[in-house]
Amino acid sequence: MIAVIPARGGSKGVPQKNIRLLNGRPLIEYTIEAAKQSCLFEKIIVSTDSEQIAAVAVLAGAEVPFLRPQEISGDNASSDDVVLHALDFYERRGEYFDEVCKLQPTSPLRNANHIIDAYKLKHDKKATFLVSVCECEHSPLWCGIIDTETLRMDEFIREEAKRACRQELPSYYRLNGAIYMGTIDAYKENRSFLGKNSVGYIMSQEESVDIDTVLDFSLAELIMKQKSL
C-alpha cells in the first residue's frame, strides 16, 4: 500500500499552513509520523508544489519524488486528482501497488493506531473503500435554508424535527478528512474514495479536528496539551 499526503503550498486562509508550527512542530510532520509508525506502507509520499514543504517532508521521513505540476496545484484541483497523478507517476516507472491511502496533513490528531484500525476494518469487512467519519456536532435535521432578504423561517425544518428532543434524533455522521483508503483498480475507475462497497471508520469529534484556520490551530494545540497531562 502507498500513502499519499497532498500538501500544496498555496493555502489562502493560513499561509504555508501545512508547515506552520503546531505545538512546536510543522503541521505535516504529525501525518508523516503517523504513517511511518503504522508500518503499513511500502511508500509514504508527499505531493506538493512547494520546495519548502518538500524540504520539511523529507526531513520528517517522507519521500517527495516530484514537485506537483501547476495544473493540479490550483484552487480548483481536487485531492483525488493529486492521488491519481501520484499513482500514474509510479506506474510509468513500473511500480504498482494494491491499495492506496490518502492522509491529509490537516488532521494532526489522527495517529498510527487510527490508520491501523481503519486498515483492519477495511479488510475485515472485505470493503473496496474506507473513509473516516465522525458524528455531526449538530443534527442536520435542525438545519435549513434562510432567504437572506426576507429572513423568513416558515419551513426551516421538517415538522417531525420541531418537537423532537436531541436524544430522539437519529445520529448523522460527516466526513472528517483524516483517512481515505481504497483498492487501486477500483479507485482509478471510480476516481473517488466514495463508491460501492464502502465502509466508514468512526473517529471521535476531538480526534477529527481539521485544520483550516488559525483558530483550528489553537484548538488542536489545546487538545494536544490536555492529552499530554
Number of structural domains, the chain? 2
pLDDT tens-digit series, residues 36-85? 999 999 999 999 999 999 999 999 999 999 999 988 887 777 999 999 99
- Does residue 38 share a domain with residue 145? no
Predicted confidence at residue 142, as pLDDT, reads: 82
- Say whether both 165 and 205 belong to one domain: no
Looking at the structure, do residues 43 and 148 belong to the same domain, yes or no? no
In a domain, 228, yes or no: no
Question: Is 105 within 8 Å of 210 (Cβ atoms)?
Answer: no
Three-class SS state of 152 = coil
One domain for residues 127 and 206: yes
74 occurs within a structural domain: yes
**Which CATH number goes with the domain that contains 184?**
3.90.550.10
What does the pLDDT look like over 217-226, one tens digit per residue? 999 999 999 8
Residue 179: inside a domain, yes or no?
Answer: yes
- 144 and 201 in a single domain? The answer is no
- Assign 229 a pLDDT band (cuts: 50, 70, 90): low
87 and 58 in a common domain: yes
Highest-scoring range by mean pLDDT, 4-13, 49-58, 148-157: 49-58
Phi, psi angles (nearest 5°) of residue 37: -70, -20
Please check whether residues 75 and 146 belong to one and the same domain: no
Please check whether residues 129 and 146 belong to one and the same domain: no
- For residue 229, being part of any structural domain is answered with no
Q: Report the catalytic residues.
A: 163
Pair (146, 33) in one structural domain: no
Read off the pLDDT of residues 154-198 as tens digits, 9 standing for 90 and up: 888 877 777 677 777 788 999 999 999 999 999 999 999 999 999
Give mean pLDDT, residues 141-151.
87
pLDDT score for 70? 86
126-145 burial code (b ≥16 CB/10 A, e <16): ebbbbbbbbeeeebebeeee
At which residue does the C-alpha cell 472528517 appear? 176
In this structure, the answer to whether residues 26 and 63 fall within a common structural domain is: yes
pLDDT per residue over 91-118, tens digit each? 999 999 999 999 999 999 999 999 999 9
What confidence category does residue 10 fall into, taking pLDDT thresholds of 50, 70 and 90? confident
Catalogue the E-assigned strands of the chain. 2-6, 21-22, 25-26, 43-47, 99-102, 129-135, 173-183, 198-203
pLDDT at 210 over 70: yes
DSSP 79-118: HHHHHHHHHHHHHHTT---SEEEE--TT-TT--HHHHHHH
Residues 42 and 145 in one domain: no
Range(s) of the domain holding residue 80: 2-136+173-222
